[in-house]
Structure 1
């Protein structure tokens, strides 16, 4: 029980962090591209490609971690964790539509949802391997 509470706290804090960052103009694609250009000296076209990869990788990892938090908080109910994460991703994209310089993207919701699925599958894989090594039958 105590472990689930900790995972809920982490999930809620992560949701707050996502809400904060997606609500700021500093998190716009054009701003991150300018930062990449300044830090790396890349041309605008090169920086645009790096920016795209960086931003999508951020979606995958952030919502992957959020999915893991919900998965653990919900006592390993994978489908429910995926649903909650995907719904949060959709509401976050909607939230972004009200922020100047930001846009909402259904594609980002799909990327977030896939990041969640991938992360949960990885965790389940390692949990199964751990249980097999310990001689425990897992779900």
Structure 2
């Protein structure tokens, strides 16, 4: 066989021979350069992912679930959050009547649902994006939405057993809307400022 980095010689009679030390240019023979190929191990090394990589991808999701589990306890029921939130509101915006505060408190808590689970959806999206780098944004976002819906359903189911909490399907829908809204904002941002990361929706 020819030496590494050498050439393959095609003779006029169809025979294949290694390149000789000296060859005349007008003897009816020509040379096909040997292609340079990278080592076979290089592609494999690029695909390796360490335990540290997987931890960095998924620990924010685990942390977010722990925060939601803590928030899902009786300590964070409406009867416990009303006082501190009203104190903060009145120090910023002034005093309000009890009736008006009941309405404001309701919308503040629902806004917390929307933003909190919207953030949870982004954590899921990041984790799937890192785990499936060749998948499209639509697949990652769908998996993130499913993860968010699962956590939200478990949250509402748990709250249905607490005396000062209520578990309602409408909150799960609100949580999913928050996840969809923030994922849509991320998609628009990437499409405008980082289009190379979004070759396609699928």
5+ residue gaps, structure 2: 1-48, 130-136
Whether the aligned pair in 1 keeps the contact of 2:190 and 2:197 (CA below 8 Å) is no
Which structure is higher in strand share? 2
Q: Kindly report the root-mean-square deviation, in angstroms, between the aligned alpha carbons of the 2 structures.
A: 1.8
Query: Which residue is 1:30 aligned to?
Result: 79
Say how many residue pairs are matched.
135
Max Rg structure: 2
Shift of the 37–68 alpha-carbon distance from structure 1 to 2, 3 Å rule, reads closer
Partner of 2:153: 90
Q: 2:57 and 2:97 mapped to 1: Cα distance? A: 42
Alignment of 1:1-139 (within 5 A): 5-23=55-73, 25-39=74-88, 40=90, 41-75=95-129, 76=137, 77-132=140-195, 136=196, 138=198, 139=200
* CA 106–69 in structure 1, closer or farther in 2 if over 3 Å, else same: same
**Partner residue, 2:36:** none
More moved, 3-12 vs 45-54: 3-12
SS at 1:74 equivalent: helix
| 1:66-113 C-alpha deviation (Å, 9 max, x unpaired) | 101111100140111101101110111001112221110111101001
Secondary structure of 1:64 counterpart: helix
Q: Which runs of 5+ in 1 are unaligned?
A: none
Q: Structure 1 residues 36, 93: CA separation in 2 closer, same or farther (over 3 Å shift)?
A: same
Distance 1:21 1:126 in 2: 30
State the TM-score, normalized to the length of structure 1: 0.87
How far is 1:137 from its partner? 6.4
Provide the secondary structure at the position in 1 that maps to 2:194.
helix
TM-score norm. by structure 2 comes to 0.61
